Structure 1
Amino acid sequence: MTFPAIDSTAVRWSVPREKVASALAERPLLLMMHGYGSNEGDLFSLGQYMPEEFVIASLRAPLSAGPGFAWFQIDYDAENATLRRDVNEVTRSTHQLISWIDELEDEVGGFQDVALLGFSQGGVMLTQLFRHQPERYSAGVFLASFAVDDTTAGGLERDAALAEVKPPIFWGRDPQDPVITPDLIDFTRRWLPAHFDVDAQLYAHVGHGLSLEEIEDATAFLSKHVGL
């Protein structure tokens, strides 16, 4: 079964589509990746808080899921109180993301800087992009999310290469997030600092969501780590 490609016609851009190539010739790109069951419009409103130099592209995940879309399918394992997913599907979704980014870079003729922002399941994709191409992205904003153990072929080598680079990442979450299960947080707390230069911040009473304070902190982080 062929894994669906990223739908280029569904991308929400912060500049008119016909001006994307010329804008990206001079300005950095910020890719936004939404959570499970959501869509490309969910995070787009965050653009008003982001550094104005960014050209923002908010992507739609390739798989249908409930009222929206998903980067990979998940189901809840009640017996073990965790979220199950197929890491092979995560990898296939990552390859489609990379293909879309490659096509955009070919159109532009080369990027200035590329930063990533992912919420929940979109944050998983953020870490996967860094795993596969650790030097391609300048910084990541990782919100209410988790990392997965990449047991696919070449996973150990990719993690080792990422650990050599240790790109900057902002990790924001509520310690009482009711969606991201404790086992996922435990793995992420071990794995993330071994592979990234982590700025980790906790926000109370946010749940599986975002606060204005968190968004402002993420904006300051991007301003610091991306060439604007």
Structure 2
Amino acid sequence: MSVSELDCIRLEPGHAPVRKLLVLLHGYGGDAGDMEPTGRVLRDGLPGTAVVCLNGPEPCAHWVEGRQWFAAMDFDAREVWDGVQVAAPLINRALDAELKHYGLNNRDMVIGGFSQGAMVALHVGPRRYVEPAGLLSFSGVLGGPSNLIEQMLVRPPVMLLQGADDDVVAPMYMEAAEGVLKSAGFDVEAHMIEELEHSIDEEAEAFALKFLRQRFEMDKSAA
């Protein structure tokens, strides 16, 4: 599949030129539209920032109208590790294409995602040749943690957000990712959100917005 086949929803600033880029990857069985509401909230709080919600490359095996970044049945450790490796080349090409589209560089971009999309973001980000501004994970899993130190090329700052009542991606996965990333020298901020299930709520969006403003150097006082 070519980059041109990755449909997307572009949420751009009304009049200001685009100076920063947030790319969001949806969850398993979803599509770019699932990330649009959160994308609009974040875009509206980030002057001069475009938010691009990418569509997964494949039809979802379990929900015919949904999309997936990689095939999965159980989302066990092997499936996640194999899957993120398969997805990575296409995602990297798509990220490069978006940066070229806006005339930006890696340090102007944060890569984020929800659930399966977050798994891909956490895999791709440390393996980019040039460090992105940050990585944003909603309910994600770090695939192949034992391979991180050997394969990583950069250490972008990371925010991990997780619902305490998530019954799809267990909260322990955020704690595990936080530990591995910190041990590898990453700057990690993690928040477990009480009474949140497998979704993104206003509290998660508020944490994400603060992180993005810091990474895009829009709020020097909070850095």
Give the shorter-chain TM-score range: 0.7 to 0.9
Q: Does 1:208 align with 2:209?
A: no
Q: Does 1:169 align with 2:164?
A: no
Of residues 168, 187, 193, the one that matches 1:179 is 168
Quick one: distance in 1 between partners of 2:92 and 2:109? 12
Residue of structure 1 in register with 2:23 after alignment: 31
Quick one: distance in 1 between partners of 2:34 and 2:130? 28
CA pair 73-181 structure 1, distance change in 2 beyond 3 A: farther
User: Do 1:142 and 1:171's aligned partners in 2 also have CA atoms closer than 8 Å?
Assistant: yes
1:116: how far off? 1.5
Residue of structure 2 in register with 1:101 after alignment: 95
RMSD over aligned Cα atoms: 2.8
User: Do 2:32 and 2:54's aligned partners in 1 also have CA atoms closer than 8 Å?
Assistant: yes
Q: Helix, strand or coil: the match of 1:52?
A: coil
If the length of structure 2 is used for normalisation, what is the TM-score? 0.81
Specify which structure has the bigger relative contact order, considering alpha-carbon pairs within 8 angstroms and separated by 6 or more residues. Answer: 1
Quick one: distance in 1 between partners of 2:33 and 2:141? 22
1:22-66 CA distance string (max 9 Å, x none): 944xx1011010000000111111133212321111000111111
Quick one: distance in 2 between partners of 1:8 and 1:227? 33
Of residues 151, 158, 181, the one that matches 1:158 is 151
Give the unaligned 5+ runs of structure 1: none
1:204: how far off? 1.1
Residue of structure 2 in register with 1:68 after alignment: 66
Quick one: distance in 1 between partners of 2:6 and 2:85? 23
1:187-206 CA distance string (max 9 Å, x none): 42432323421111111111
Residue of structure 1 in register with 2:180 after alignment: 191
Give the unaligned 5+ runs of structure 2: 219-223
Quick one: distance in 2 between partners of 1:186 and 1:170? 12
Q: Does 1:222 align with 2:212?
A: yes
Quick one: distance in 2 between partners of 1:218 and 1:130? 17
> How many equivalent residue pairs?
209
CA pair 15-85 structure 1, distance change in 2 beyond 3 A: same
Q: Does 1:14 align with 2:14?
A: no
If the length of structure 1 is used for normalisation, what is the TM-score? 0.79
The AA in structure 2 aligned to 1:40 is A
1:181: how far off? 3.8
User: Do 1:113 and 1:137's aligned partners in 2 also have CA atoms closer than 8 Å?
Assistant: yes
User: Do 1:6 and 1:61's aligned partners in 2 also have CA atoms closer than 8 Å?
Assistant: no
The AA in structure 2 aligned to 1:172 is L
